[in-house]
Structures are given as structure tokens and as C-alpha cells.
Amino acid sequence: MPVDSNQKVSVIGLGYIGLPTAALIARGGAQVVGVDVSAHVVETVNSGRVHIEEVDLDGLVQGVVSRGNLRASLEVEPSDVFIIAVPTPVAEDRAPDISYILKAARTVAPALKAGDVVILESTSPVGTTEAMRDLFTQLRPDLKMPMQNGAAGDIAIAYCPERVLPGRILVELIDNDRCIGGITPRCARKALAFYRQFVRGQCITTTARAAEMVKLVENSFRDVNIAFANELSVIAERMDIDVWEVIRLANRHPRVNILQPGPGVGGHCIAVDPWFIVHGDPENARLIRTAREVNDGKTDYVVARASDLIDEFPGETVACLGLAFKPNIDDFRESPAVKVAARLARRYGRRIRLVEPYAQALPMEFAGTGAELMDLDTALEQCGVFVILVDHDMFKSVPVDERADKAVYDTRGIWSDQPRRISAAPAGRIAV
């Protein structure tokens, strides 16, 4: 979709969201400068390459850099629109850390001029966009800032959360609806005019505070619902019921849609963002906190249950299937599968084999454990115990006769036809 080619857009932070966003806007025709604190990232992008894995991103970046629409820089330059897309980690005490946002805002402040639009996209605790505005007020007393009471400013400031799924980022950046929150309605309108140029989904305006909460609520909704599935899986295992069958059948009800249990919740968003709400109102965010605890607790539970099975077969080598944080991707950061497998590797050392078609080498969590990467065929030949941690398509396609003699702990419910290997098995999905 065409973007005003006279418009200069700066994207601060060239990570998983910033770089695809910058490249898409550049493809539309705008002059885009991607700003990053890492010289390596700036150099990589300027040479038309990418430092992150995302479907179709490499070709897109190469194209827009070679056409001159995107370049990267360590310095912020005067622009018409500034998009801030930097990380907001959660600190040790679960408090959100907005220091990267404030640091980015400090670098933007000197470049601001009347008429500019500043948009924050980073996941943020409620009130962060106003905090950014307050920082601009301090740093640029010469510019009038927009106020919650509706007073117009010389610049527009808005919050517009990203909501794209890793692996589908370029598609979802265009097709997903966007929620755009302005400090004032005028700020929202200005940001809306910008997004409408390249977003095909609906763009809906609101206040900055509501938009901040929308983002946190979306990921908390998913976390709470996964926690429900994870809690069910533990209860069903104790009752010797197949939880996946129960979920499948319950979901036939027109108003029931239970998510899937697993070894815990991974990625950088769903396991983090709910803490921003808990931190904002610890007294009332009881369900949201409990969901986090249930999901983290499921990882410990899986380690304990897998260990029970491994201990029952002391002579067997153990294959852990999958390390990614979700199926069919090569992202191992914050992965519950890595957490489980690494704990098993520390405990059982050389008995553990890791099968991960998306990994060239083992993540550092396995250093010194003696555990090794192995391909699926060899694991099926050599290993007697299988712990399924990720539902990659490749694992789903193993026919039952190739694994009939294996002892299996299936945390993802992909080998539902697995026969039990001995009858004295613990209840539930441990099929031994």
C-alpha cells in the first residue's frame, strides 16, 4: 500500500517489531530511517541483510535498502513521524522496566518540531505514554505538549501496540486491526492517518491509557486461558482421563473454546505482560497472577513427571522432542521446552538426546551437561523413552508402528494413539 513518499519516518529500535515495520513503511514509498543502539544491527541492515529470523523479511529488507527507502543509523534525525519499538523487560521483582522507552524518548526529543507525530508501540504499563509526554515537556519547553484534558499540542503523541504473531509478522502487520490511543483525540487522529496508509485491518482510536491496557489484556487473556488448560491437564492426569479428548469434546459446545495444555508458556510477551497488570494493581489482579503461577508451575510439574518416567527405565536413552517455544519456528528464547530439557539434561546427563529440526546447535543452557542433538530417525532407532515438548509437524507425522514400543510422556497431546508400554504406569498421558 502506498505511503506518502514525502514523509520521513524514523523507527527507533530495529528488533522483531521495529525492523519489519520500518521495512513495510519503506516498501510503501516513505523515506525511513531505522535507528538502533547496536552498531552491528545498523551495519547489517545497511548492507541489506537482517539480524533476525522472520518469514520473508530478508527479501523485503534487501529490496527497500537497495532502492534507498530504508537506511539504518545510530543517530535520530529530524523526521515527520517517530515510532518507538524498544523492549520493555520485566525486572527481577516483576516490575516493568520502561527505561529503554525513556532512553529512546530522550534521543527523539532534540529532533522534534511542531507538526511531528510520536507513536509508542512497545508493550507498556498503563501511563507510559503520558510519562513519555512528561519527559518531552521537560526536555523541550519550547514545544507545547498535548494534555489529557484535550489541550492540543504542537506535536501529536499516541500509543499503538503491535499485536503480530512471530512467523506471520509481515502479514499481520498489514491485516490485523490496530488500536490507536492518543493523549488527545487529535493525537489519535494524526496517528490514525499515518497507520491507514499501510494497514488494511481496521484502525480504531481510543485514549493512550486504554490502548496500553488493551495490549496487556490481550496477552493476559491468552495466559489465563492457557493456565486453565494446563490446570485441567494436571487434574485429568490424576483422574486417568485424556485431557485432549476432554478438551476436543468440550469445545464442541458452541460457547466453549479451551486452549491447549503444554509444558508451560514461552515467548517474550504472554509470560511477561500479565505481570505489568499485576504490578499495576497487585491487590485486585488475583486471577491474572494465579494464571502466571499455574503456567510457570506446569513447567516444574512436567520435569517431575518426565523424571518419574525416565527413572522407571534406567537402561534407556531419552529423546526430548522439541526445544522451540512453539511449533514450527526456530525461536528458542524463553522456551519452556528448553527449560524442561535442560533440567533433565542436568539431572540425567548423557542419557538425554535433544531432537530439534530447527536447531543447528544446542542452546547454551545445555553446556556441560553431556546431552546431545540427534535427528528424529536416529532417536526412533536408539531411544526407548520419549518426552514430547513441542508439537512440530515433523513429530506429529511419526506413525504409531514406528513408536509402539516407546515409553512416552506427551506434553502436547500429539501421539494420542500411543499404546502403554507397561501396565503399572502412572495415570494419564504417560503411556508406558
Kindly give, in sequence order, each residue whose CB lies less than 8 Å from that of residue 240, ignoring residues fewer than 6 positions away: 427, 428
Question: In the annotation, is 269 catalytic?
Answer: yes
- Under DSSP, is residue 4 helix (H, G, I), strand (E, B) or coil? coil
Within a 10 A sphere around the Cβ of 59, how many other Cβ atoms? 12
Amino acid at 88: T
Question: In the annotation, is 144 catalytic?
Answer: no
CB 208 within 8 A of CB 182: yes
Closer residue to ligand SAJ in complex, CB, 412/421: 412
Closer residue to ligand SAJ in complex, CB, 257/284: 257
Edge-to-edge strands of the sheet including 203-207?
Answer: 70-73, 31-35, 8-12, 81-84, 117-120, 156-159, 178-182, 203-207
Q: Which positions touch ligand SAJ (CB under 6 A)? A: 162-166, 218-219, 222, 226, 259-260, 262, 265-267, 269-270, 325-326
Within a 10 A sphere around the Cβ of 350, how many other Cβ atoms? 11
Shortest distance in whole angstroms from residue 395 CB to ligand SAJ: 14
Pairing of strands 318-321, 203-207: unpaired
Helix (H) or strand (E) holding 12, with range, is strand 8-12
Out of 160, 203, 269, 320, the active site residue is 269
Shortest distance in whole angstroms from residue 430 CB to ligand SAJ: 19
Shortest distance in whole angstroms from residue 63 CB to ligand SAJ: 25
Closer residue to ligand SAJ in complex, CB, 116/162: 162
| Torsion sign over Cα 327, 333, 334, 338 | positive
Out of 215, 298, 339, 406, the active site residue is 215
The stretches of 113-242 forming alpha helices (DSSP H) are 128-139, 169-175, 185-195, 208-238
Closer residue to ligand SAJ in complex, CB, 49/333: 333
| Residue 402: DSSP 8-state | G
Shortest distance in whole angstroms from residue 325 CB to ligand SAJ: 5
Closer residue to ligand SAJ in complex, CB, 134/300: 300
Shortest distance in whole angstroms from residue 194 CB to ligand SAJ: 20
Catalytic residues: 215, 269
